[in-house]
Structure 1
Amino acid sequence: MGLLTWRRRTDRRGATAAKSRDPHWDNVRAISGTLVVFGHLTDTITDRDGLRWLQIATWALRVPVFVMVAGYFSRADALTPREARRLTESILVPYLAIGLLHSAEQYHFYDNWSFSIAQPHWAMWFLLSLLFWRAGLPYLAQLRYPLATSVAVALAAGYISEFGGYLSLSRTLCFLPFFLLGWRLRQGLLADALTARWSRHAAIAVLAVTFVTAWFIRHEVPFSWLRMSSAYDGTYELPRLWDWTIRLGVLVLGTVIALAFIRLTPRGRVPLLTYLGTGGLYIYLLHPLVLRPLLRWFGVDWVGPWPEQLSLVLFTVALTIVLGSPPVRRLARPFVQPRLPWLFRAEPDAPAPARTVPAPAAAPDDQLVRVPGPR
């Protein structure tokens, strides 16, 4: 009887949690996270035509979409002590904890210990940038044109050589427009367009053109254009004055393709996919720790013809499912979603609302006591 009651309570809590989430964005996060794993698994063998094509075609569906999702769930409220505590627990501490695990792995496999807060480990730049984005959002929201300003900053940053991997400065500034766009989507920007019937057909056309075009230009697009992790410094082989045009094109195309993908992602609950999306951060933070030993022990140089490339894609999906599974989440929760009540002072109790004595109701006119006036 007790077990049955526990199951019913668990089911009710699970149903309540599911109702409080938007499955559309969980689905977006799950697909985008899977593509991120694929990108990191295959980024050393991009000379294979099929894999390089898929890397180019899905770029906007990976990091730009993941950044937009982060922006969608961010708030521009003032940085109160409670918000500072939330940022510390959800971003800063996981950044340090996962970074230590990366350092331990490097020491184990390569006998090289290195831990630098300012130089993020593999894929950890996202957390560092996210810390800056969320902390700065209350101030960015005060700008008259935050999106346009962020684009201008991203283009100008390419001319400053110091903006590179240090503190993830280059990516923080260059991917900021995607973060702010996600935040504006939560406020209702493009709400009608992203639900209109015509936009579905337009989104299908955008993704179709993207995948077809990516095949023909797969060897013409350097990945440095898409990573935006450093200054221009001759990267685009253009007159220096016009380097910004390439980055602007990347930002515009990335935005259009990302919005098309979001439009086509299922809005309702999808078995397994929606659940994986609820653990998108686990997938993102844990997959490099798993890929490093796999690449060390087995490598991916054996991948050759199309069937082998397809097997690597299927392996990516399987690995994503494992990383998003309940046992892995329970095991990794102290690192990914730590709770540190011992680190912070207890929040003061909110003052009890003052009791107000209701004013006496006015008597109807026919019940008013009339006082005779002076005669």
Structure 2
Amino acid sequence: MSGTMRPAQQRGTAPPQTPADGVAAHPATHPARSAPEGAKQRDAFFDNAKYLAIVLVAMGHAWEPLRGGSRSVAALYMVVYAFHMPAFIVISGYFSRGFDASPRQIKRLVTGVAVPYVVFEVAYTLFTRWTDRTPDRPISLLDPLYLTWFLAALFIWRLTTPLWRLVRKPLVLALAVAMLATLSPSIGNVLDLQRVLQFLPYFVVGLCLRPEHFQLVRRSEVRALSVPVFLGALAMAYWAVPRMNDAWFFHRDSAEELAAPGWYGPVMTLVLFGCSMVLVACFLAWVPRRRMWFTVLGAGTLYGYLLHGFVVQGANFGHWYDHGWVHGPVGAITVTLAAGAVVTVLCTPPVRRLFQCTMEPELKWAFRRDATDLRRPL
């Protein structure tokens, strides 16, 4: 989840109402429904939440080169990483409740998640061959590079949705799976399964939520309580910076790989799940319910998510962080504002139109007939 693809952590680092059933404009947002496009009105609350979360993702990536020299930046980084991806994944699960693996929905999953995954896996590999000066780096669709791990994970999570809707205690089972994953360093990097399994409980939480649950976090008392909770989280993170390995928040490694005793894994899974869900609730409590100037950008968060990675890599290649002033307070503020501005531009409608062919392709030529016709007997 880090913003820099270091040699030892190149793959699986780091991150998503929309057009046509929601797997495209941000994979974490729209219901996999069978209703016609535009049949339901977009909810400004979720678009606002997606935009604000993607801004935090970009800021987190911008802070990474600064956290080694600033305990305050490292604390902010830790708090943001505790909830921004869980928030995306919870919303993804919430809008996947209607997924029943019908032909029409499978088609949308392929065009809105699988195709962007392939396109950006190849694009990131080619780009990092240049920026990292590694011309022999292979293109591997089984080992997600950088931000593409989320698309691979969403594809798997959505396909398993019918199972989680069938079992009696889905969250308990998902937490058990995540806990066991931390004990298994042999899982490896195939489709970043370690991350898929460790983040799974947040997706399942989303599947279990109902509209009234989101109404609860919008109450004024929850908003008031969220302020001391966030302040407490920042204070705790500031204390933990020199004492804790923040890689636990990335959910990409087993306990053994983090040089911790095996039993740490299951315990940290439960502790981090509780902390992350509290912070997700606090974050959602402050998301505006009405339309804002940035509401329209919530439909383009997948674009901002995937495209800003090239800017991050370009900044590292251009040695933008080598200037001393960048590592001071003014530099940290400048980098933060620049990250927010860049990802905002990348979510705008003109950028969406430019890259729509890769993010939301129709691919009519790839399917035998319209997906709705596949339901009819042959």
Instruction: Give the Cα separation in 2 of the matches to 1:348 and 1:288.
Output: 33
Percent identity for Structure 1 against Structure 2: 27
Post-superposition CA distance 1:114-165 (Å, at most 9, x none): 2111110111100000000001111111010111111111011111112243
1:132 aligned residue: 156
Secondary structure of 2:66's partner? coil
User: In 2 relative to 1, CA 246–327 (structure 1 residues): closer, same or farther, beyond 3 Å?
Assistant: same
1:168-207 equivalence runs, <5 A? 168-185=192-209, 187-188=210-211, 190-191=213-214, 193-207=216-230
CA RMSD between the two structures: 2.2
Aligned pairs for 1:305-344 (under 5 A) are 305-344=328-367
1:101 aligns with 2:120: no
User: How far 1:30 moved relative to its partner?
Assistant: 0.8
Whole-angstrom CA distance in 1 between matches of 2:359 and 2:366: 17
Where in structure 1 are there 5+ consecutive unaligned residues?
1-15, 352-375
Residues 196 and 291 of structure 1: CA distance in aligned 2, closer, same or farther (over 3 Å): closer
Q: Do the aligned partners of residues 350 and 331 (structure 1) sit closer, same or farther apart at CA in structure 2, a change above 3 Å counting? A: closer
Q: Is the 8 A contact 1:39 1:55 kept in 2?
A: yes
How is 1:207-356 mapped onto 2 (pairs within 5 angstroms)?
207-233=230-256, 235=258, 237-238=260-261, 240-271=262-293, 273-302=294-323, 303-347=326-370
Matched, 1:79 2:93: no
Match of 1:64 in 2: 86
Q: Whose radius of gyration is greater, 1 or 2? A: 1
Cα offset, 1:87, TM superposition:
0.7
Are the equivalent residues in 2 in contact too, given 1:75–1:183 (CA < 8 A)? yes
Contact 2:111 2:362 in 1 (8 A): yes
Counterpart-to-counterpart distance in 1, 2:118 and 2:214: 37
Worse-superposed segment, 45-54 or 167-176: 45-54
CA 1:208–1:42 in structure 2 vs 1: closer, same or farther (change >3 Å)? Answer: closer
Q: What whole-Å deviation, never above 9, does each CA across 1:324-348 have from its counterpart, x for those lacking one? A: 1222211111111111111112227
TM-score (norm 1): 0.83
Name structure 2 gaps, 5 residues minimum.
Answer: 1-36
How many angstroms does 1:48 deviate by? 2.6
**2:166 aligned with 1:142, yes or no?**
yes
Indicate how the Cα distance of structure 1 residues 349 and 322 shifts in structure 2: closer, same or farther if over 3 A, else same.
closer
Deviation of 1:70 (Å): 1.4
- Can you list the C-alpha shifts for 1:342-369, whole angstroms capped at 9, x where unaligned? 1112227769xxxxxxxxxxxxxxxxxx
C-alpha spacing 1:32/1:348, structure 2 compared with 1 (3 Å)? closer
SS in 2 for 1:75: coil
Shift of 1:297: 1.3
**AA in 1 matched with 2:316:** L
Shift of 1:285: 1.1
SS of the equivalent of 2:321 reads coil
Number of equivalent positions: 333
Residues of 2 paired with 1:293 and 1:112: CA distance? Answer: 19
Q: Residues of 2 paired with 1:209 and 1:96: CA distance?
A: 41
